[in-house]
A and B are shown apart, each in its own frame.
Chain A
Amino acid sequence: MDIVKNRLHSKTKPMALRLAISMALIAVLVFALGGLLACTSGSASDVVVIATNADAEAVEVMTAALTDAGFSGQFVFQEMGTAELGGRLMAEGTSIEADIITLASFYLHSSQNRDDTFLPLDSSKTTLDELPDYMTPILAITGSIFVNTELMEEDGLPMPTSIRDLADPVYAGNLAIADINSSSTAWLLIQAILDNYSEEEAAEIIQGIYRNADAHVLPSGSGPIRSVRAGEVAVGFGLRHTAVNDYESGMPIDFIDPAEGNYKLIEALAVIDRGEDTNPLALEMAQHILEGGRPKLQEHYPMQLFAGEEITPIHEIANQRTFPEPLTLELLEQHQAIVDGIVRSAND
Chain B
Amino acid sequence: MPKGRIEVRVIYAAVILFFVAFLGVPLATLFVRAFSDGETANFTLLNFSQVFSHPDFLSSLTNSLFLSALAALITTSLAFVLACAVNMARLPQWLEKLVPIAIAIPALFPTITYGFAIIYTFGRQGLITEVLGGHQLFEIYGVNGLLLGYVIYTLPIAYLLIDNGFRYVDKRFFIVSRIMGDGGLKAFFKSIFIPLAGTLGAAFVQAFALSFADFGIPAAVAGNVQVLSRTLFDTMLGAVPSFEMGAVVAIAMLLPSIMSVLILTWLDRFNINYKKFSPISLSKSRFRDVSLSIYTITLLLLMLSIFAVVFIIPFVAQWPWDRSFSVEPIIATLTNAQYQIIATNSIMFAAITAAVGTVLTFFAALIARRGNMPKFFSGSIDTFAIATNSIPGMVLGVAFLLFFVDTPLQNTMAILVLCTLVHLFSTPFLMFSGAFSRMNKSWELTAELMGDSWFKTLRRIIVPNVLPTVFEVFGYLFIYTMVTLSGVIFLVSAHTTLFATRINQLAYFARFEEIFILSLIIFVLNLSMRILTRYGARKATARLHGSKVK
Residues of A within 8 A of B (CB): 2-3, 5-7, 9-10, 13, 15, 18-19, 21-23, 25-26, 29, 32-34, 36-37, 40-41, 43-44, 47, 49, 51, 55-56, 63, 72-73, 76-81, 83-84, 86-88, 90-91, 95, 97-98, 181-182, 214-220, 222-223, 226-227, 229-233, 251-252, 336, 344
> Is B36's CB within 8 Å of the partner chain A?
no
Interface residues of B in 387-412 (CB under 8 A from A): 406, 408-409, 411-412
- Also in contact, A6 and B450, with CB within 8 A (given A40-B496, A44-B495, A55-B509): yes
Bound: A223/B506 CA distance, A:
11
- Also in contact, A83 and B494, with CB within 8 A (given A55-B509, A226-B510): no
Residue of B nearest to A95 (CB): B406
> Is B240's CB within 8 Å of the partner chain A?
yes
Whole-angstrom distance between the Cβ of B402 and the nearest chain A Cβ: 13
> Is B376's CB within 8 Å of the partner chain A?
no
Residue of B nearest to A77 (CB): B338
Contacts of B451 in A (CB 8 A): 2-3, 5-7, 9-10
Contacts of A233 in B (CB 8 A): 124
- Also in contact, A226 and B495, with CB within 8 A (given A33-B414, A37-B408, A231-B125): no
Stretch at the interface among B7-15, B105-113, B425-433: B7-15
Interchain residue pairs with CB less than 8 A apart (7): A6-B452, A32-B355, A37-B409, A37-B414, A97-B493, A222-B510, A230-B319
Contacts of A232 in B (CB 8 A): 119, 123-125
The listed residue (A6, A83, A230) touching B123 by CB distance below 8 A is: A230
The listed residue (A3, A36, A83, A86) touching B450 by CB distance below 8 A is: A3
Q: Which 7 residue pairs spanning A and B have beta carbons closest together?
A: A6-B451, A215-B223, A215-B141, A83-B239, A78-B494, A231-B125, A226-B510
Whole-angstrom distance between the Cβ of B395 and the nearest chain A Cβ: 20
Bound: A286/B245 CA distance, A:
36
The listed residue (A6, A26, A44, A91) touching B241 by CB distance below 8 A is: A91
Residue of A nearest to B319 (CB): A230
- Also in contact, A13 and B453, with CB within 8 A (given A29-B360, A40-B496, A87-B238): yes
Bound: A88/B237 CA distance, A:
7
Contacting pair B356 A29 (CB below 8 A): yes
- Also in contact, A21 and B414, with CB within 8 A (given A32-B356, A40-B496): no
* New A-B pairs, 7, CB < 8 Å, besides A26-B11, A90-B240: A6-B452, A22-B11, A37-B412, A51-B494, A76-B341, A76-B495, A230-B320
Residue of B nearest to A173 (CB): B139
Contacting pair A33 B453 (CB below 8 A): no
Whole-angstrom distance between the Cβ of A43 and the nearest chain B Cβ: 8
Contacting pair A84 B414 (CB below 8 A): no
Contacting pair B509 A220 (CB below 8 A): yes
Contacting pair B7 A36 (CB below 8 A): no
> Is B250's CB within 8 Å of the partner chain A?
no
Bound: A182/B233 CA distance, A:
12
Bound: A294/B332 CA distance, A:
24
Contacting pair A218 B510 (CB below 8 A): yes
Whole-angstrom distance between the Cβ of A110 and the nearest chain B Cβ: 12
Contacts of B510 in A (CB 8 A): 218, 220, 222-223, 226-227
The listed residue (A36, A182, A215, A217) touching B239 by CB distance below 8 A is: A182
Whole-angstrom distance between the Cβ of A51 and the nearest chain B Cβ: 7
Contacting pair A87 B239 (CB below 8 A): yes
Contacts of B341 in A (CB 8 A): 76
Whole-angstrom distance between the Cβ of B31 and the nearest chain A Cβ: 21
Whole-angstrom distance between the Cβ of A10 and the nearest chain B Cβ: 6
Contacting pair B238 A83 (CB below 8 A): yes
Residue of A nearest to B224 (CB): A215
Contacting pair B337 A72 (CB below 8 A): yes
Contacts of B409 in A (CB 8 A): 37
Residue of B nearest to A214 (CB): B224
Bin chain B's interface residue count.
Answer: 35 or more
Contacting pair A79 B417 (CB below 8 A): no
Contacting pair B418 A49 (CB below 8 A): no
Whole-angstrom distance between the Cβ of B316 and the nearest chain A Cβ: 13
Residue of A nearest to B449 (CB): A7
- Also in contact, A97 and B494, with CB within 8 A (given A23-B10, A40-B413): yes
Interface residues of B in 482-530 (CB under 8 A from A): 493-497, 505, 508-512
Whole-angstrom distance between the Cβ of B450 and the nearest chain A Cβ: 6
Bound: A217/B225 CA distance, A:
11
The listed residue (B123, B239, B359, B455) touching A86 by CB distance below 8 A is: B239
> Is B321's CB within 8 Å of the partner chain A?
yes
Contacts of A63 in B (CB 8 A): 338
Contacts of B505 in A (CB 8 A): 79-80
Residue of B nearest to A174 (CB): B124
Contacting pair B241 A87 (CB below 8 A): yes
Bound: A234/B508 CA distance, A:
21
Bound: A217/B355 CA distance, A:
43
Interface residues of B in 335-366 (CB under 8 A from A): 337-338, 341, 352, 355-356, 359-360
Whole-angstrom distance between the Cβ of B294 and the nearest chain A Cβ: 33
Bound: A184/B125 CA distance, A:
28
Contacts of B256 in A (CB 8 A): none
Contacting pair A26 B14 (CB below 8 A): yes
Whole-angstrom distance between the Cβ of A139 and the nearest chain B Cβ: 16
Contacts of B412 in A (CB 8 A): 36-37, 40-41, 44
> Is B448's CB within 8 Å of the partner chain A?
yes
Bound: A23/B455 CA distance, A:
12
The listed residue (B6, B452, B496, B497) touching A15 by CB distance below 8 A is: B6
Q: Chain B 33-65 against A: per-residue CB contact (8 Å), 1 yes, 0 no?
A: 000000000000000000000010000000000
Contacts of A84 in B (CB 8 A): 237-239, 508
Whole-angstrom distance between the Cβ of A300 and the nearest chain B Cβ: 14
Residue of B nearest to A227 (CB): B510
Interface centre among B412, B455, B505 (most CB of A within 10 A): B412
Contacting pair A18 B7 (CB below 8 A): yes
Bound: A278/B339 CA distance, A:
27
Q: Chain B 11-37 against A: per-residue CB contact (8 Å), 1 yes, 0 no?
A: 100100000000000000000000000
Contacts of B6 in A (CB 8 A): 15, 18-19, 22
Contacting pair B238 A181 (CB below 8 A): yes
Whole-angstrom distance between the Cβ of B507 and the nearest chain A Cβ: 8
Contacts of B240 in A (CB 8 A): 87, 90
Residue of B nearest to A219 (CB): B508
Contacts of A7 in B (CB 8 A): 449-451
Contacting pair B494 A21 (CB below 8 A): no
Bound: A98/B14 CA distance, A:
36
Contacting pair B142 A215 (CB below 8 A): yes
Whole-angstrom distance between the Cβ of B287 and the nearest chain A Cβ: 42
Residue of B nearest to A231 (CB): B125
Bound: A87/B246 CA distance, A:
14
Whole-angstrom distance between the Cβ of B406 and the nearest chain A Cβ: 8
Contacts of B124 in A (CB 8 A): 230-233
Bound: A41/B455 CA distance, A:
35
Whole-angstrom distance between the Cβ of A3 and the nearest chain B Cβ: 6
Contacts of B417 in A (CB 8 A): 33, 36
